Chain A
Amino acid sequence: MLSIKIPFKFLFIIVALSIISNIALASEMDGKKIAFDRKKGNCLACHAMDDGDMPGNIGPPLIVMKTRFPDRAILKAQIWDATIKNPISIMPPFGKHHILSDAEIEKLLDYLYTL
């Protein structure tokens, strides 16, 4: 009995894990798309990030985000309205000006934390 139960449990965990990671992957993919798309975040216009082609150099490279932004709220604030922290920031206020929706910004944040 036991010898049958374990593989089942095991299988279940594998299936569950793969579903979870697929979901995580999907949201990461969406986040990446949002970041790269010229009509969405277009972050590459200003930031080098990930494997993005021909990035601009107006803003700093987006790397090791977890270490540099342990607090998700602070990272979100930078994207929501960069002019709060730096009044002459050139970075578009993505949340405040409805360039991205709140849901899109959340996906973008998930993706940024993979960098």
Chain B
Amino acid sequence: MKNLLNILVIFTSLGCINIANATPEQDKETFQRFYMERFPDVSKEDFGNGVYALDQDARDQWESMSDFPPYEDDLEAGEELFNNPFKNGKNYANCFKNGGENIRQNYPKFDTERNSVITLELAINECRMKNGESALPYQKGDIAKISAYMASTSEGSLIEIKVPNDNALIAYEEGKQYFYSKRGQLNFSCANCHIQNVGRKARSETLSPALGHPTHFPVYRMAWQNFGTLHRRFASCNKQVRAQPLAGQSEDYRNLEYFLTYMSNGLPINGPASRK
């Protein structure tokens, strides 16, 4: 009840009252329109560059290192891992459509048989297990490198997430609920920072738009000195507000990723990317 109230309060403040029972498509329209009206000078694709779409100084610094991106070695390692055969002689290409190339824009997917959101990282691990390999840890390391390589083969392809049936809609609604609910001792929702206060500064950190959040993951953060998956970033944002971070690929995080990625439908994949 309290959560629903928050959803309404926030959405009402965005100038849209009827959204609690809007379709995903209507949600997406409102969501994208909010950012485009708030930042009329930023093109739709550019929202995928996060804070750098809003802060020119930060962008100049960031662009000056794009000739030699800090993730180059890890990205190459990801390509090698992707192509290396498993012990049984098969490899990742055998598990995915189109040999695993140019598919990032279709993840996460709703699997209508298992009634569950399947993210790219989950699919990578399921591919390994199907082929007799052990699962990789979810937040960083090899899985992030492989995912980064796969994202790079989708450069420029437009995100196209689908909500195929009523069960998918439930998962979507749960993700949406997570996004708008306040949590943690400090009492923040994702929306408080990335919608309500987008573009403002928390100390010296500009708050990025949630539109475009999923386009460029995994992200290589200078603070991490390696790649992290989207779920690793969710966990960092949970910790910032002293909320209990969830495990990578937990159902809540997968549903959140589903909602968040749907909101970015139509934006081009531009990952992996580097961030402060």
Contacts and interface: CB of A to CB of B under 8 A. Distances in A.
Is the interface on chain A under 10, 10 to 19, 20 to 34, or 35 or more residues?
Answer: 10 to 19
Interface of B: 6, 9-10, 13, 185-188, 192-193, 196-197, 200-205
A56 interface: yes
B202 A46 contact: yes
Contact of A88 (B9, B185, B193, B202): B9
**Main SS at interface, chain A:** loop
Contacts of B192: 90
A6 to B, nearest CB: 54
A65 interface: no
Top 5 nearest A-B pairs by Cβ distance? A92-B186, A54-B204, A56-B201, A56-B202, A90-B192
A97 B186 contact: yes
Given A45-B202, A55-B203, A58-B202, 10 more contacts: A44-B203, A45-B203, A54-B203, A56-B200, A56-B203, A56-B204, A56-B205, A57-B200, A58-B201, A99-B185
Nearest to B240: A45
A97 B13 contact: no
29 contacts: A44-B203, A45-B202, A46-B202, A54-B203, A54-B204, A55-B203, A56-B201, A56-B204, A56-B205, A58-B197, A58-B200, A58-B201, A83-B187, A87-B9, A88-B6, A88-B196, A90-B188, A90-B192, A90-B193, A90-B196, A90-B197, A92-B186, A92-B187, A92-B188, A93-B187, A97-B185, A97-B187, A98-B185, A99-B186
A45 B192 CA distance: 14
Interface string A41-71: 0001110000000111110000000000000
Interface in A81-101: 83, 87-88, 90, 92-93, 97-99
Interface of A: 44-46, 54-58, 83, 87-88, 90, 92-93, 97-99
A55 B200 CA distance: 11
Nearest to B6: A88
Contacts of B202: 45-46, 56, 58
Nearest to B189: A90
A92 B196 CA distance: 15
A57 B193 CA distance: 12
B204 A88 contact: no
B10 A88 contact: yes
Nearest to A54: B204
A52 to B, nearest CB: 9
A46 B203 CA distance: 6
Nearest to A92: B186
A81 to B, nearest CB: 9
B26 to A, nearest CB: 22
A56 B197 CA distance: 11
Nearest to A88: B9
Nearest to B201: A56
A45 B203 CA distance: 4
A60 B6 CA distance: 23
Contacts of A55: 203
Contacts of A45: 202-203
